[in-house]
Amino acid sequence: MTGDDDSDETLVARAGRGDRSAASRLIARHSPKVLALCGRILFDRAGAEDAAQETFLKLWENAGRWRPRGARLETWLYRVATNACLDRLRKRKREAPEKDAHEQIDRAPSAVEKLAADQRRGAVEAALAALPERQRIAMTLCHYQELTNIEAAAAMEISVDAVESLLARARRSLKQSLLSRRDELMEGVG
Amino acid sequence: MTNPEQDPDDALLDELLKSARFIIADEGFTTRLLASFDAHQSRRARLSWTLFADAFGWRALAQPLASAGFLAGLCAAGFVAGAASGPDDGETYAELAAAIDQSFDLNGEDQSWAEE
């Protein structure tokens, strides 16, 4: 951020008054991270784009009356995006519970057939996809979106202790699934 | 998060996690988001008008006002048609002038009153 006029608060207020350029700047600033978060939770580009669009639509709807109340806009966006993704995951499970389970299991064997880097990437993505939803969200927010545990707790609407517990369990699961194959996965890493 | 320097396994895990891909927001996606802003703005403008109209009861009055407007329009059209087809002012004046006795001298009459 370069100055007061460029702050999220100012841009949101301007967007709330219908300023298109302010909306455009908010999109440029926050949409890549929101989309990345949705992608890591849903593992599906179309679904992630829909969830991210829903998040921004909520922002436009609330822009006129949005107040920071101590939280950063980014944290608010992550909270809305996380909820949008969770809704989609629940809907997905309701509609095709077995298909979803198979998708997660099928990823690993297909990745084994690929080259070293692809194999590593595939294994990591499969391990992340296999995590329970809330562990994956906590991991994504803290590891990939680089939120602090406090910010992640605000985004997930849970306590900091709960976030720490989710992170610890997620890392334990990831270690079990990935580090048992460390020689295979770290091959070619300088 | 655990400090990776404390545990080599954590450092290795972090290294592995870096390899996961993420979805990149392309121009089409940002254009779609901006279009959603435009759509929201026009929806909001329509909604504002609706709320305004409701606040003044205009929408509830729409039907009776439309009937009254139709009748008013009909009356106005009748007035215009009548005005267009009636005699002009010059014609009316000539008829009135012919009806009045022009030989009667109003000034002379005034003087006769003064003498009395």
- Find chain B residues with C-beta within 8 A of A117's C-beta: 19
Nearest C-alpha in A relative to B19:
A121
Asked if the C-beta of B15 comes within 8 angstroms of chain A's C-beta atoms, the answer is yes
B9, B10, B19: residue with CB nearest A124 = B19
Which among B23, B41, B47 is the top mutation candidate for probing chain A, defined by the most A β-carbons within 10 Å of its own β-carbon?
A: B23
**pLDDT at residue A97, as a whole number:** 58
Range with the poorest average pLDDT among A99-103, B40-44, B95-99: A99-103
Selected residue of B19, B34, B38 to mutate for chain A interface (largest A Cβ count, 10 A): B19
Q: Which residues of B67-77 are buried (b: 16+ CB within 10 A; e: fewer)?
A: eeeeeeeeeee
Residue B10: both structure tokens together: 């954590």
Higher-pLDDT residue of B5 and A146 is A146
pTM, two decimal places: 0.65
Q: Which two tokens stand for residue A110?
A: 């297909």
CA neighbor of A108 nearest in space, from A130, A129, A128, A123: A123
Q: Are B17 and A124 in contact (CB under 8 A)?
A: yes
Task: Identify all chain B residues contacting A24, using CB atoms and an 8 Å cutoff.
Answer: 34
Whether A138 has its CB under 8 Å from any CB of chain B: the answer is: no
ipTM tops the 0.85 cut: no
Q: What is the mean pLDDT of residues A143-160?
A: 89
Q: How far apart are CA A106 and CA B33, in angstroms?
A: 33
Instruction: A87-90: list long-range contacts, CB under 8 Å, 24+ apart.
Output: A88/A42, A88/A47, A88/A50, A88/A51, A89/A41, A89/A42, A89/A133
pLDDT of A106 > 50? The answer is no
B33 with A125: Cβ contact below 8 A: no
**pLDDT value for A190:** 46
Residue ranges in chain A assigned as alpha helix (H): 8-16, 20-42, 45-62, 73-95, 97-112, 116-130, 133-139, 149-156, 160-178, 182-185
Burial B83-95 (b: 16+ CB within 10 A, else e): eeeeeeeeeeeee
A23-64 pLDDT, tens digit each: 999 999 999 999 999 998 888 889 999 999 999 999 999 888
Q: How far away is chain A from the Cα of B47, in angstroms, using its nearest Cα?
A: 12
**A115 part of contact set with chain B, CB < 8 Å:** no
pLDDT of residue A15: 92
pLDDT in tens, B50-75: 766 666 666 677 777 888 899 999 99
Angle between helices A8-16 and A73-95 in degrees, nearest 10: 70
